[in-house]
Structure 1
Amino acid sequence: MRVSRGVPLIATILVTTALTTALAVPGPAAATDITAGDCTRREGTRVPGAAFQQSACLADLTTTGLAGTPYTDLADQAGLTARATRTPSGVPGMQIDGYFPDSSHSNATHGWQHDAQFVIRLPDHWNGGLVVTGAPGTRRQYATDTAISDRVLAQGYAYAATDKGNNGADFYRDGTRPGDAVAEWNARTTQLTRAAKSVVAQRYGQAPRRTYMTGISNGGYLTRWQLENHPELYDGGVDWEGALWTKDGPSLLTSLPTAVARMTGAATDEDMYAAGFARGSEFLWPYHEKAYWGITQKIYRAEFDPAYDPECPGPTAGTTTEQILAPCATDAAYDYASRPASVRRAVAEVALTGRVGRPLITLHGDLDALLPKAADSDVYDRMIDARGRGRLHRYYTVQGGTHVDGLYDTYPDRLRPILPCYRTAFDALVAWVERGTPPPADQVIDRPVSGDVVDSCALDDRAPHGAAAAR
C-alpha cells in the first residue's frame, strides 16, 4: 500500500463471496478480435496519476461481448447475480485498464501482480453521466460488470471500478498498522473518481454533468462513506447492503462472533436472533457456515485486532480451500466490547457517521445471513435520521433478499434477487437528482408470488414515509 494519511482514508471490508473471492482467480483466456468503435481521442486520453494504462476500442463493452476476453473476468463475478438475469449488450466504446502506484501485489489480473487496478469504460453514445463503484468483498475490478456495468453502459453512462487497493483473503497483510489495509479502500475510490472525471472530460470534451456512486456490500459501504466524506464529487448514490462500521458497534466484529460460536456449538439460535440474524433465515445458515462466517470473521478481526490471536490466521488465511474457509477457534469467544481501546480506535478510522451530503438510496434483503439488516442498514438509517439528514435518504427492505443473488438459484421458492430492485432504485435516484422527483417512501418491497422475479421489481408510491415495516 502506498497512500497518504493526510486526507481521510477510512474504508471497510466485507467478504461477499466464497472461495472464488478468497483465492486468486487466473485471468480469462486470450482475447479474440473484438476491437471496433470510435477511437477518437484514444491516444490522448490519460488517466491522471496512473502508473500504467492500456486502452482498447471495443465493439461491445458489456459482458456479452467481453466474456472470454481479458477485458472482464466472469469468475470474479460468481454468485453475485441470478443465473437467469438478463443484461443488455451491443454497447461500443473505449475501455481503459491500468493501475495506480501501489506497493502491494495481491491482484494477479492481466498478470500484472499489482494492486490499485481499475477499469474505465467510455461508451460511444454518452449520456453525460459517470457511475463509479468499488469491488464488493475481496473481489476485484470486474466483479460487478454484470450487476452494474452492463446496464449503466447501455443507458449511456461512463463507468469506473476499482479493486480498492488490496484484495483476496490475505488483504489484512497490507499496510503497517491495524486498519491500514481497509483505510486504503476509500482512498482508492476517491482517487479513481477524480481520475475518471478527468478521463471523461478528455474523451468527450466536457466534464460529466452527473456522477453517481454505487456498489454492493463493501461497495455499498464505499458509497455511504464517499457521500459522507466527499459529497462534492457526487450527485447521489445507491447503497446495496453496505457494510456498517461504528466505533462501539454494531459491525461485523459484533455480529459474526456469535455465528462462529454457533458453528462450534457455543451459541444457540436465540443468541443468533439477539445478534441481529433474522428469524426465517435459518435455511441459509448451513451454507454460510461453510462459505462465509469463518473466513469473514477471522480476516477482518486480523485486520483490526491482530493481537487477539497472532497465530490465527497468521501470515496467510490458508493455502487450501478448507484452511481458507475455516474459522479461527478463538473467534468463537471474541468479545469486541472487551478489547483494548486501540482496537476501537482502528475501527473508528473506518466508522460511518450518517452525515450523508447527497441523496442516498439503501437496499437490504431481510434474509441477509452475512450482514443482518437489524445490525446494519436498520442502524445506519437511524444514524442518518439522528444527523438530521433523513430527507436525503430512502431505505427499501427487499423481502426474500439475501446477501448474494446467486443463492436464488438454489432457493427460488424462498428468495428473490435484489438486482432488479437495485435497477429500479437507481432509476429512482436519477429521477430524484435530475428531475426533482422524490423517490417512493421507505418501504418493504414484497416478494411477488408470481411474475418475473428475476428481472422485475416495482416500488410502491403509496407507501407512507418512514414505514415502520421497513425498519
Structure 2
Amino acid sequence: MALAIRSTSPPARLAATAALAAALIAMTVSPAGARPASETSAHCARQTHLRVPGTERQKTDCLNELTTAGTAASGHTDPADWAGLTPKDLAVPTGVPGIQIDGYFPDTSATNTNHGWNHDAQFVIRLPDHWNGGLVVAGSPGVREQYANDRAIGDWVLSRGYAFAATDKGNTGVAFHRDGQAPGDAIAEWNTRVTQLTRAARAVVAQRYQRPPARTLATGMSNGGYLVRWQLENHPELYDGGVDWEGTLWRADGPNLLTFLPPALAAYPAYAAGGPQADQAHSALLAAGFPAGSEFLWPYHHRYYWDLTQRIYREELDPEYDGPAEAGTPFCVSGTPACDADYAYAARPADVRQAVAKIALTGRIDKPLITLHGTLDVLLPISQDSDVYAEMVRRAGRGALLRYYRIEGGTHVDSLVDAFPDRLRPLTPCHRAAFTALEDWIGRGVRPPLGHTVPKDPAADPATLLAGCPLGD
C-alpha cells in the first residue's frame, strides 16, 4: 500500500527500501510443458507483429534474458523500483529469453519518469519464448512504478513459463494525489489501469502465440493485493483466480488506514520517550491494531512509513482537512492545527466516506482467491485488514472461493527480514506456495488447505524459511 514507498535514505539497506480442460491440467502439472506451436517457439517469434491495443506508445525488444538477471544490466527494469521488497538472498532465476514490450496508454498525468517519457499509465509486458499458456497480471505496490514486482513476482512466474504484465497504475510517487479531478479519483484509476492492461495483455499474448491465454491470474502485494481483490469482485470475467499478498483494505465505514494510522502517530512519541505516559501510549497502539510482539518494528515504521502514508492518502481522500496545505505537516505533534496525528475519520464530513466508497471493497469475489498476510505487519495490521476482508468475503456468501493464510512472523516488506532474521520470516516463499496452490485449485480441482495461521518453526534458520513455506495439508 502506501506501502513500499521508494527511498534511498539510511539506515543501511533497509532505508533504501523506504520507502497471477486438459490443457489447463497439463500446464499445472508441468508449467513449461504446454508448448506453443512450432512456428511460434523460435526466439522472439512474431516480434514485428505485436501491437498492444489502445497504447499511445510502445517499444518492443528481443531479449536474451527477461528476468532481472538480464534486465537490470540491459536497462529493461529499474532496480530502484523494486529495492527493498525482497530478502537480499532471494535467488534470481535465469534462462528466460523472449520479448519485452514497454509503453504507455493515453493519460493526462506525468509522475512516471521512466524512459524519459514523463508519462503515466506506463506498463511492461514480457513474453517468454517457452510459454506455458498462462498470463500473470500485477499492479505495483505502494506508489511505485511498473517494474516494482520484477524481483518478487515477475522473475519467478517468467521462469515458470508465464507471460507477465505489470502497470504503474496510472500515477506514481508521493504526490500521486495530484492526479484526478475529485477525491478518490487517483486510486480509482489504479483499478481502471489494471483492467485496461489485462485486456490488452490478453490480446498481445494471442498475437504472439497465436492463441489466447488458457488462464489469466492476478497477483500483487500491498496496494497490488488490493487491486487483485477489486478485480475479482468487479471484473471476474477477465481472470481465473488471484493471489492477494497483504492487500490494502478500503471500507467507507472503516477500518482503513485513515482509522488506524492516526492513533499510532499520536501515541508513538510518548511510547518511545518512556516515562509515565509510556504504558498508556503502548495500550493505545495495541488498541489501534498493532500486534503485541511487533514493538521492535515500530521505530522503523514511525520513521519511514506511518507519517508519510497517512498524509498522502489522507490528502487523496480528504484534502480539505488541512485546508490549502498539501499533505499536511510531517511528524507534527498532537495538538498542532490540522495535524494528521489528530485525524478522526469518523468525525469527518460524509463526502470523505463517499470518496472512500468510490474505491471500497465488498468481499463479493467471483473467482478463487488466496490471501496471505503476515501477523507482524505493522503498516497494515492484520486485525484491521485481511482478518476483516476474509470476514467480508464470508458474509458475502463467497467463502468457498477464499483461502486465507495468516503467516506467523511475516511483516509488510521482506527486506526487514534481513535486519531481524531471528524474529521475522519472508513472505515471498509463502506467495509462491499460495500461487502454486492456486494453480492446482483452478487447474486440477485440488482444493488448498482451509485457511489458518501458518506457524513459523522456531528451529528453522533463515535459509530454510527462504526456501519454502508449507501451507499445510
**TM value normalised by structure 1:** 0.88
1:441 and 1:183 mapped to 2: Cα distance? 32
What do the CA deviations read for 1:351-407 (whole angstroms, capped 9, x no partner)? 000000000000000000100000000000000000110000001011110000000
Post-superposition offset of 1:311: 4.2
| 8 Å Cα contact 1:212-1:235 kept in structure 2 | yes
Q: Within 2, Cα distance between the matches of 1:43 and 1:460?
A: 46
| Maintained 8 Å contact 1:51/1:99 | yes
Structure 1 residue 259, shift from structure 2 partner: 1.3
The equivalent of 2:294 in structure 1 is: 281
Give the conservation status (yes or no) of the 8 Å contact 1:117–1:162: yes
Q: Indicate the residue corresponding to 2:24 in structure 1.
A: none
Match of 2:385 among 363, 366, 376: 376
The match for 1:271 is 284
Counterparts in 2 of 1:223-262, with a 5 A limit? 223-262=228-267
Deviation at 1:18, TM superposition (A): 4.9
Native 8 Å contact 1:294 1:327 kept in 2: no
- 1:465 corresponds to: none
Task: Determine if contact 1:212/1:236 at 8 Å carries over to the other structure.
Answer: yes
**What amino acid does structure 1 have at the position aligned with 2:68?**
T
Structure (1/2) with the larger helix percentage: 2
Q: Alignment partner of 2:195: what SS?
A: helix
Q: Which amino acid aligns with 1:109?
A: N
1:136 to 131, 141, 166: 141
Residue 306 of structure 2 corresponds to which residue in structure 1?
293
Q: Find the residue that maps to 2:467 and give its secondary structure.
A: coil
Partner of 1:207: 212
The Cα offsets for residues 303-338 of structure 1, whole Å up to 9 and x where unpaired, read as 000000024435xx8xxxxx8x74685111100001
Q: Which residue of 1 aligns with 2:4?
A: 16
Q: Does residue 174 of structure 2 align to residue 174 of structure 1?
A: no
Counterpart CA distance in 2 for 1:44 and 1:24 is 40
Give the match for residue 150 of structure 2.
145
Alignment of 1:58-457 (within 5 A): 58-265=63-270, 268-313=281-326, 326=331, 330-448=339-457, 449-451=459-461, 452-457=464-469
1:87, 1:423 → 2: CA distance?
14
Shift of 1:275: 1.2
Cα offset for 1:69?
2.7
Secondary structure of 2:49 counterpart: coil
Shift of the alpha carbon at 1:262? 2.0
Cα shift at 1:14:
2.5
Amino acid at match of 1:16: A
> CA deviation digits over 1:228-277, x for unaligned, max 9?
00000000000000000001100011011111112443971111111111
- How far, CA to CA, are the matches of 1:341 and 1:161 in structure 2? 35
Amino acid aligned to 2:306:
W
Match of 2:43 among 25, 38, 45: 38
Secondary structure at the counterpart of residue 57 of structure 1: strand
Question: Which residue does 1:31 correspond to in 2?
Answer: none
Q: What is the SS of the residue equivalent to 2:231?
A: helix
Length-normalised TM-score, structure 2? 0.88
Q: Structure 1 CA distance, aligned partners of 2:83 and 2:204? A: 29
SS at match of 2:270: coil
C-alpha distance in 2 between matches for 1:455 and 1:118? 30
**Matched residue of 2:155: which SS?**
helix
- The runs of 5 or more residues in structure 2 that have no matched partner are 10-14, 18-41, 272-279
The AA in structure 1 aligned to 2:237 is: E
CA contact (8 A) 1:431 1:438 kept: yes
Q: Deviations over 1:385-431 (max 9, x none)?
A: 00110000001011110000000000000000000011011000000
CA contact (8 A) 2:268 2:285 kept: no
Return the alpha-carbon distance in structure 2 between the equivalents of residues 262 and 140 of structure 1.
Answer: 33
Secondary structure of 1:203 counterpart:
helix
**Which letter maps to 1:289?**
H
Which letter maps to 1:403? H
How far apart in 1 are the matches of 2:448 and 2:125?
A: 29
Give 3-state SS (helix, strand or coil) of 2:254's partner.
coil
SS in 2 for 1:268: helix
Give 1:456's aligned amino acid: G
Task: Look up the equivalent residue of 2:252 and give its one-letter code.
Answer: K
For the residue of structure 2 that corresponds to 1:353, the secondary structure is coil
Check 1:450–1:15 CA distance in 2 against 1; reply closer, same or farther (3 A cut). Answer: closer
Q: Deviations over 1:270-308 (max 9, x none)?
A: 111111110000000000011000000000000000000
Specify the alignment match of 2:12 in structure 1: none
Corresponding residue for 1:32?
none
CA distance in 2, matches of 1:264, 1:68: 43
Matched positions, count = 429
Supply the distance in 2 between the matched residues of 1:236 and 1:307 (Cα, whole angstroms): 39
In 2, distance between residues paired with 1:47 and 1:73?
Answer: 22
1:200 CA drift (Å): 0.2
Distance 2:148 2:312 in 1: 20
Q: Name the aligned partner's letter for residue 201 of structure 1.
A: A
Gap regions ≥5 residues in structure 1: 1-12, 26-36, 318-322, 462-471
Letter in 2 for 1:14: A
Among the aligned pairs, what percent are the same residue?
58
* Partner AA of 2:296 in structure 1: F
- Give the match's secondary structure for 1:130: strand
1:103-137: CA deviations, max 9, x gaps?
10000111110000000000000010000000000
Partners of 1:193 and 1:327 in 2: CA distance: 41
8 Å CA contact 1:20–1:78 kept in 2: the answer is no
- Distance change (3 Å), C-alpha of 1:189 and 1:105: same
3-state DSSP class of the match of 1:431? helix
CA contact (8 A) 2:184 2:355 kept: yes
SS of the residue corresponding to residue 238 of structure 1 reads strand
Distance between the aligned counterparts of 1:312 and 1:283, measured in 2? 33
Question: SS at the partner of 1:287?
Answer: helix
